[in-house]
């Protein structure tokens, strides 16, 4: 049953990721992979927040944790795409963009996760 719950969460996470990618892609025409960057930062924040909110008080059912974290967030975040895009930027001679993308994603991702965890403590 847990696999079904993860799959259900994954459907919504994948559709959310796809929708945000399309929305950002229609508005951003630069070389910097902004859609993936936004998804990684918001995903880091949401996973940090959910990890606190779903464990507070100990009353959250295991299936809900599976839907939200492994399912939704696992399909929503895009670190495999992130790595692929960095390699492509380097291969295309865009080393400066690759470095900004890599460092910005890691630093802001960590900050967003910390903010999510912190906010979760106060909700």
In total, the chain counts a number of residues equal to 123
120 is in an annotated binding site: no
Q: What rounded mean pLDDT belongs to the chain?
A: 92
What are the structural domain ranges in the chain? Answer: 1-122
pLDDT for 30 equals 92
pTM over 0.85: no
pLDDT for 8 equals 96
77 is in an annotated binding site: yes
pLDDT for 57 equals 73
C-alpha 1: how far from chain center: 25
Gap between the Cα atoms of 60 and 75, Å rounded: 21
């Amino acid at each position: 049953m847990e696999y079904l719950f993860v799959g259900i969460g994954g459907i919504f996470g994948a559709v959310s990721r796809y929708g945000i990618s399309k929305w950002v892609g229609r508005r951003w025409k630069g070389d910097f992979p902004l859609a993936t960057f936004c998804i990684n930062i918001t995903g880091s924040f949401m996973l940090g927040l959910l990890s606190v909110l779903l464990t507070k008080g100990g009353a959250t059912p295991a299936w809900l944790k599976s839907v939200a974290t492994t399912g939704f967030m696992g399909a929503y975040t895009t670190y495999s795409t992130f790595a692929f895009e960095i390699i492509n930027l380097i291969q295309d001679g865009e080393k400066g963009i690759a470095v900004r993308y890599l460092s910005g994603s890691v630093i802001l991702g960590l900050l967003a996760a910390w903010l999510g965890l912190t906010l979760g403590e106060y909700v």
